[in-house]
Chains A and B, each alone.
Chain A
Amino acid sequence: EPEVTQTPSHQVTQMGQEVILRCVPISNHLYFYWYRQILGQKVEFLVSFYNNEISEKSEIFDDQFSVERPDGSNFTLKIRSTKLEDSAMYFCASSLGLGEYNEQFFGPGTRLTVL
């Protein structure tokens, strides 16, 4: 069965550094998402992306975050200047589209540790 993949599985960075988290959604999917889970808390929506633009974002997704689909396969989340509180699991998800095809498939996550 096709799956969403994410790299790296674990990223350690210094506060203030930029990080890019990478995702490869399922190949024929059109909608892409990032979610965040701070340790011990629930999974929270960050942003959704369709047709090369953001379709919805949460209040967490401030100016230090950006997303991009640089080519036909990757979907990236960039954090420009990481803070300690950005330490979390980041999950990418994708879906085929609307209606009955809106099931979201989640990747295994990237654990980001900001020191």
Chain B
Amino acid sequence: AQKVTQAQTEISVVEKEDVTLDCVYETRDTTYYLFWYKQPPSGELVFLIRRNSFDEQNEISGRYSWNFQKSTSSFNFTITASQVVDSAVYFCALTPGVGAGKSTFGDGTTLTVKP
């Protein structure tokens, strides 16, 4: 069985602060994919990043960075110099890499960035 835990329900920061959103996952699969999605108030899921289980390289994209550590089953997401437009719900998700299995989402973290 798969499980994704986002322990932080809500985070509030002031603009320009750095913020890290935690994601811990459980799976018995050796091959899997991890995702982060942003969900603005309009409701759509905006894809941010996918990472496969064989690629532990950390990634940076502009103000966003991701730290994938298989040893601790974590895939954390950091926003540097946060902006008001970053305010949204962020979901971490896990998909098996073998078979046509379903994606499992975390409960989401609501990020509020105040001016």
B97 touches A102 (CB 8 A): yes
Q: Which residue of B lies closest to A111 (CB)?
A: B43
Given contacts A42-B108, A91-B45, A111-B43, A55 and B52 within 8 Å (CB-CB): no
Could you tell me if A104 and B103 are in contact, using CB atoms closer than 8 angstroms?
Answer: yes
CB distance from B45 to the nearest CB of A (A): 5
Which residues of chain A come closer than 8 Å to B101, judged between CB atoms? 48, 56, 102
* A26 at interface, CB cutoff 8 A: no
- B50 part of interface (Cβ distance < 8 Å): yes
For residue B105, CB closer than 8 A to chain A, the reply is: yes
Task: State the CA gap A41–B33 with chains docked (Å).
Answer: 22
Contact of B45 with A108 in the complex, beta carbons under 8 Å: yes
For the complex, what is the distance from the CA of A35 to the CA of B44, rounded to whole Å? 13
Convert A45-82 into 0s and 1s, putting 1 for each residue whose CB lies closer than 8 angstroms to a CB of B: 10010100001101000000000000000000000000
Contact A42 B45 (CB under 8 A): no
User: Is there an interface contact between B98 and A102, defined as CB atoms closer than 8 Å?
Assistant: yes
The 9 closest A-B pairs by CB, nearest first: A45-B102, A108-B44, A43-B105, A31-B100, A42-B107, A42-B105, A106-B45, A89-B43, A109-B44
Provide the main secondary structure of the chain B interface.
loop
Q: Are the CB atoms of A93 and B43 closer together than 8 Å?
A: no
Q: Could you list 7 examples of A-B contacts with CB < 8 Å?
A: A42-B105, A43-B105, A98-B99, A99-B31, A99-B97, A102-B96, A109-B44
Q: Out of B37, B50, B107, name the residue touching A103 (CB < 8 Å).
A: B50
Instruction: Tell which of A42, A100, A102, A105 touches B99, judged by Cβ atoms closer than 8 Å.
Output: A102
Q: Compute how far the CA of A109 lies from the CA of B103 in the bound complex, rounded to whole angstroms.
A: 16
Contact code string B40-61 (vs A, CB < 8 Å = 1, else 0): 0001110100101000000000
Please give the distance in Å from A32's CB to the nearest CB on chain B. Answer: 9
Does the CB pair B91–A43 fall under 8 Å? yes
A93 adjacent to B97 (CB under 8 Å)? no
Shortest beta-carbon distance, B80 to chain A, in Å?
26
The answer on a CB contact under 8 Å between B45 and A102 is no
CB <8 Å contact, B104 and A45: yes
**Contact of B91 with A42 in the complex, beta carbons under 8 Å:** yes
Report the Cα distance A35→B35, complex, angstroms: 16
